[in-house]
Amino acid sequence: MRLRLAVPFLFFVLPAALLVAARARPGQGASEKREPLFFVQMAANIAGNVQHGSLDGFLGMYLDSRSWASGLKDADLGPFLKLNEAKLGRSAACLFSAEKDAAACVYFDGDIPFGVAAVKAGAGGRLDGDAIAKAYQAVTKEMLKEGGQDLRFSPFSVNTDDGRELPAFVIRATPKRTT
């Protein structure tokens, strides 16, 4: 009787448990396997579809779960990151215009975008935390469609207010050619 129970355990239950344990190792979230450019490119596509404007000259920054706390303390990134809690595998790609009068932040669980907040500056010329919170919405299939701009990304580096270096990219955009 015991042998009969041991065989299925050894061949089915034990390998399944080992597979689950291997996938759940800390620090191995899907977002940490991808390169920052992957997330910034996807965020740029989503932001272009939400804002309906050119992203030329925007700066795209990537924050993973390890840099989230520094981003929360940052004057520009903090109001966006406060909308979602930090957790393993969560990341964000935030895009700011050169004048910082328009911005968008796309949130990821693993490599799946789930939320976006896109805002333009109010009358005071600054991005407002309340406006950012009101702008938050779930990412839809429509937002994931390819946008009308050809985007090029040049590596750049920026620091949060507390000095943490973030991977960043300057975005150059041109209208897509129709042939």
- pLDDT tens digit sequence for 23-58: 433 444 444 578 999 999 999 999 999 988 889 999
State how far the Cα of 40 lies from the Cα of 167, in Å rounded to an integer. 10
In terms of pTM, does the model score above 0.85? Answer: no
CA-based torsion, 58, 166, 118, 148: positive or negative:
positive
Alpha helices by DSSP H, listed for the chain, are 2-8, 14-23, 30-33, 36-51, 68-73, 78-81, 129-135, 141-144
Q: Are 150 and 161 in contact (CB under 8 A)?
A: no
Domain housing 105: 30-175
Q: Is residue 10 part of a domain?
A: no
Reported as a single tens digit per residue, the pLDDT across 68-100 is 999 999 999 999 999 999 999 999 999 999 999
Q: Is residue 45 part of a domain?
A: yes
Q: Is residue 22 part of a domain?
A: no
Backbone angles phi, psi at 95, to 5 degrees: -120, 135
Q: What's the Cα-to-Cα distance from 18 to each of 10, 14, 15, 29, 88, rounded to whole Å?
A: 11, 6, 5, 17, 20
Q: Is residue 128 part of a domain?
A: yes
Reported as a single tens digit per residue, the pLDDT across 90-137 is 999 999 999 999 999 999 999 999 999 999 987 777 888 889 999 999
Q: Is residue 35 part of a domain?
A: yes
Q: Is residue 43 part of a domain?
A: yes
Q: Is residue 171 part of a domain?
A: yes
Q: Is residue 8 part of a domain?
A: no
* 61-65, 83-87, 133-137, 148-152: range with lowest mean pLDDT: 148-152
Total number of domains constituting the chain: 1
